[in-house]
Structures are given as C-alpha cells and as structure tokens.
Chain A
C-alpha cells in the first residue's frame, strides 16, 4: 500500500487505514505500507489531534503490532518535511525527533521492491 495523503488535511489517509483494516479482516497479509509525498506526515509521533477525533497513528501501529505490517517512510520526502528519527536528528544536529518505531525511514528502493514482491499495490492519494 502506498499512501500519499497527509492525516487531517485529506481523507486519503483515513481511507487507506480503513481499507487496510478491511483487507486484514478478510485474511490477507498486508506486508508494507509505504508513506510518500505528504503521506509521510502519518509517521509523526507529535500529532496531537483533539481526543474526540480519529487517532490515525494508533491505527497504523495496530496494523504493525497485530499483522507485522512494515510502516516505511520515504526518507527523502520525510527529511524535507520535518520527519526525522533519532538517528537522522543526531546527524542533522537537531535536538528533537518526530519519527519513532514501528515507523522506519527508508529509501524509495524499498517501495520498488515492495511493488514487485507483492501481489497487489493500492495507492491512496490526497
């Protein structure tokens, strides 16, 4: 699954998570979610939506915990947009970070691999 849509700005991230849940419920394995373009914002550990709104990050983490789905964040798209894990923060001299496991920063090559290795790829756009 490829997610280009940012949470809270566009519906695409909600649609993606809802579809992911439905696929898993059907008994399929969802091996990888790759976050690209503004979709990288799904990986932010700093989102604090109001309590009575959807907590998207929890949904993504549950997919990982319960089905082992990899949550991959494009590193090039992410660094430009302020998505950094502790390693990248140190390398860029930042005293804060915004990406935590199970989200992993990775290269676009992983998207290409995932596309060719899996039966199906579905994209959720902004």
Chain B
C-alpha cells in the first residue's frame, strides 16, 4: 500500500473479522478514524469453481453452483438451468416454471432477510438479525419439505426439478406469507425508521448511478441508485413476464439517492414485491404436470456458447457456458453480482469514517462464496 505518512495508519480488516461477512480482507488507510483508501483483497475462499466445472459433467455442476452463493442457492441453480436450457433449447412445462419461480422468490426473501439482518448487525443492532434468522428458518422449512436440504438444495435440474412439490406445500407457503407480511412492518418499525439507524445510514456511502453502471453494480444496489433495472422485467426469463409486480428504486427517502439507507430499504420493499409474485404464482400453479417431463436423457449441448443472465437476490447473475459437444463443459464462467458490487467499495467508502466503511460494506450485501468462487 505504499508509504504511510505522518499520522496515517494501515489497518487490516480481516480476513477473519466479524464485519467482513466471511473471509474478506480490507486494507484501509486511516488517519485517526477517517479512511482515505480501501483496498479489498479477495481469494480467501477461492474454491476453484470454474476448474471443477471443466472436470465434471453438466449435471454435476449444479451442486457447485449451490455452493457459490450459499445464501441464494435456488436462484443460482435457476440461473444455471435457464442458461443450459437456452443452450440446449429445452422447454419445460408450466408446473416446473411455476415451481421454479416460487422457489426463487422464496429464496430472494430468505437471502434478503439474512442480508438485512447482517447489515443491522454491522451497525450494532443484534436483535433484528436474530429475528430475521428466525423468520428465515420458516422459509428453510419450506425448502426442506420440498427437497430435504436446508441450505444447498441441488433442486433445479436442467429440464426439470429434482422433486415435485410435496403435499401441503402450497398451504404451508400461504401460511408463511400470512405470517411474514406483518413481520416486515414490525421490522420496519424496529430498524428501518430507527433514529440511530437512519443517522448511521442516510447520506452515507452514496453510489451515483453512472458510477454504479461503470462498476457493473447490479440488482438492489443498482436500483437503490435510481436505475430501474430488473432482469425479471427488462429481460424476462422463465415466466416472470406474466406476473405483476413493481421494481422498487431508491428515492432518497431519508437522505440522498443511492445511500446506504436506500440500499437497505430497496431490499425491504423487494421482499414485499416477492410476496406479491409468490401469491400470484401460487394461485396460478397448475395442478397437473410432470416435473421430469423434459429431463434430457443425456446432457450434451451442441457446440457453441451462451451468456445468460438472471436476477439473483444480489443482482445480475450471469453464466457464460462454452460447450464443445461433450458432456463436460469446456468452460463455464460465472459472472457474480457480489464480485462487481464489492469492486465499488473503494470508490464509495473512501473519505468516510471507519464505522461507515463497515456499514457500506454491509449495505452492499456481499457473499464471499460468490466473489471468490
């Protein structure tokens, strides 16, 4: 980091630190409490995802996508199977599409819950975090009754699903939604409009729209900067074009557009929108339909490549798949939204106080598994 001048101090946050959400190392140059430069060092969780993909078959890639963004495994599976189905030109039936959307939206809520809770934790509010985890458990129960796993599901397969919905799933999901909707309001009361919380987050770490686009920031972080961009609406995949929902964007409710509070509040609103989608998808879920109907006997996509993006809870999740006609991917690259979101940290965190840097980091909602892959 070069020469350290006078009063300055170089401080290593991480790789093991309660606020880094995993094993990230931030090297910050500080003068007292004021941070002048933030340099992230990645790779402490580099698990060679792409190398594995070049060595295992297309089906076996799915569990590895689970483990990339371990807070949103369903949407990671979803992105991969959408890309593969695009490459192989497979159409899946209505029931499968509906179940996929239901799972993805439940996963979005679960992921946002943990992201918001962890952000609160970074600010020092411990209790909302546990309340969030408590409600998240209920979503995990739904996943568990569907596919038996709590965290890493391997649920969506190319051309279908690993299991059909169990008996009583729809009712349980409705029950969960009825339980959860008032909880959002409670959460808003507890944290979102908390005076101290607002003081800590409003106007802090403003991310202008053009900077966000240049850094490839996507998802809720980009929307908080005022850009109305959601792949579910703007480049619809699966059956998202059938549902009615809004795209919440940051409006600077407590400070200016694109600050930490906006990034936080957009996620809260997105959970509400997900509930809307869930209710529509549950009501239009077809009773009939075999989830194994279009499972290919052998996955051997034609020679060629595809780049397909889907909207994961963290933003544009892209898969670049290069096929050489065999049953093993020639190259598979994952464009992870958290990777691009983290890259912007120096731009928006420099000049703030040490506590703010950690708040800004929390507001970006990163998952190290996806950054390092």
Report if A and B associate in a common complex.
Answer: no
Residues of chain B having any CB pair with chain A under 8 Å: none
